[in-house]
Amino acid sequence: MAAPDADEHWAPPSARSQPHLRLLALAVRDFRNLERVEVEPSPDATVAAGQNGQGKTNLLEALYYLATLKPLRAARLAELIRFGADQARVEGRFLIRGAERAIAVEVSSAGTRQAYVDGKRAESLEDYFGGVSVVAFTPDDLAVVKGAPEGRRALLDRAVFNRFPSFLKESRDYSRALKSRNRLLRDSAPDAYLSAYDETLARLGARIWMRRRQLLCELAPLAEKAFAAIGRIDSPARYRYSLARLHPEEHSLPEPQLCTRLGEALRARLPHDRDRAFTSVGPHADDLAIELGDQRARAFASQGQQRALVLAWKIAEVENLLSSLGYLPLLLLDDVSSELDPDRNAFLMDYLARCGAQCFLTTTEPALVRRAASPSARWLSVRAGTVSPSHPPASQP
């Protein structure tokens, strides 16, 4: 059930009434199994219902890809194209801070993509990301607490990217420098050559650390509050950064010192790293530690508790964008309701109904999401790659 007192921790309702970001229309062509789909979403909730394998997640993924240029599920780009077609295209008409923008992306069968803003080619990714942000919530997310660290790093980095758009280039540069250093380790390059890449990696890594720290400073308290508001679990949640092979306090150093410390750690680990041909220290080896009470949730939390921990994180991400940047992202929920128990699902649905964000939900069971849908919600039915208007489920007793 919704906890009414949760509101006081969150941004005031006045901020929510400003529609800074809204999708007005979505057109999808030859994307996954969707041949040609046009949707005019509701300003509130749009629900795509259908059986598994019919294409409702593909519809959500098309929108996610348009907003982030990343596939929602791991895939090569060419796999996004409908079988037998030459290219896939997704286009959205958005209202961004009062101005209407048409944003489109095409993927060719060669695996290349081209983005367009208002019909003109976007030269760089920076041109493209002019204020469309999305928070996606999928059944895969619900498993991150238990899963490998890379899932939690991805969860964290998606939130960092939404908050700090330059993080996209910064993290790409870091991973390029990391790959370069690993290649040098594998090729047994001389120390002088390797140390040039150590220093490059240390600078870029310090920047990643600083971004993640800034984000966690904002987000962790919100997530901890949201977790308390979800209720039914007495122990408090904690979300904190866990540095691989470095003292936890080092994470609070200013950026230049972070750079120095990472450089020292890289030098110290060099003999070990040369043996393994792999870099063993740095942001790529860290973890987002999620704790319940004083225990690692990964090992000790029940499945229901773990899901509540992710749910709280996602709500905090939305709230943090509103409080730090002043606008709500689009929310994409892929059949999450069937994975949550009834109370937590009700909490989520009530949150969606009152948070003010434009939501897109998929479900196999429309009754599960009807609480998120206002009378103005749009209901769609997805069957074998075609999308048609449908009706809200009959109200329950």
Partner 1 sequence: MIPAPLGRLVAQLAKLPGIGEKTAQRLAFHILRSPREYAQELSQALLETVERVRLCTRCFALSDDELCGFCRDQRRDDGVLCVVEGIADLMAIERTREFRGRYHVLHGVLSPLDGVGPDQLRIKELLSRLGDGKVEEVILATNPDVEGEATALYLTRLLKPFGLTVSRIAQGVPIGGDLEFADQATLARALSARREL
Footprint on this chain of partner 1 (rule: CB under 8 A): 124, 126, 164-166, 169-170, 173, 176-177, 179-181, 183-184, 187, 189, 192-193, 195-197, 199-200, 203-204, 255
Q: Of 170 and 319, which has the nearer Cβ to partner 1?
A: 170
Nearest approach in angstroms of CB 266 to partner 1 is 13
Strand 287-292 vs strand 237-242: parallel, antiparallel, or unpaired? antiparallel
Q: Of 148 and 217, which has the nearer Cβ to partner 1?
A: 217
Q: Of 148 and 193, which has the nearer Cβ to partner 1?
A: 193
Which residues have a Cβ under 8 Å from the Cβ of 220 and sit 6 or more positions away?
238, 239, 240, 316
Helix, coil or strand: residue 285:
helix
Nearest approach in angstroms of CB 181 to partner 1 is 8
Question: How many other C-beta atoms can be found within 10 angstroms of the C-beta atom of residue 101?
Answer: 16
Q: Record the tokens describing residue 295, joined without a space.
A: 């225990």
Q: Residue 126's Cα: distance from chain center in Å?
A: 18
110 and 137 Cβ atoms separated by less than 8 Å = no
Say how far apart CA 229 and CA 243 lie, in whole Å: 29
Q: Of 125 and 217, which has the nearer Cβ to partner 1?
A: 125
Nearest approach in angstroms of CB 89 to partner 1 is 24
Say how far apart CA 128 and CA 126 lie, in whole Å: 5
Nearest approach in angstroms of CB 102 to partner 1 is 20
Q: Of 131 and 393, which has the nearer Cβ to partner 1?
A: 131
CA atoms in the 13 A half-sphere facing the CB of 159:
31
Q: Of 176 and 232, which has the nearer Cβ to partner 1?
A: 176
Nearest approach in angstroms of CB 248 to partner 1 is 24
Nearest approach in angstroms of CB 72 to partner 1 is 23
The DSSP secondary structure of 194-207, one letter per residue, reads HHHHHHHHHHHHHH
Q: Of 14 and 124, which has the nearer Cβ to partner 1?
A: 124
Say how far apart CA 93 and CA 40 lie, in whole Å: 10
Question: How many other C-beta atoms can be found within 10 angstroms of the C-beta atom of residue 297?
Answer: 23
Nearest approach in angstroms of CB 128 to partner 1 is 11
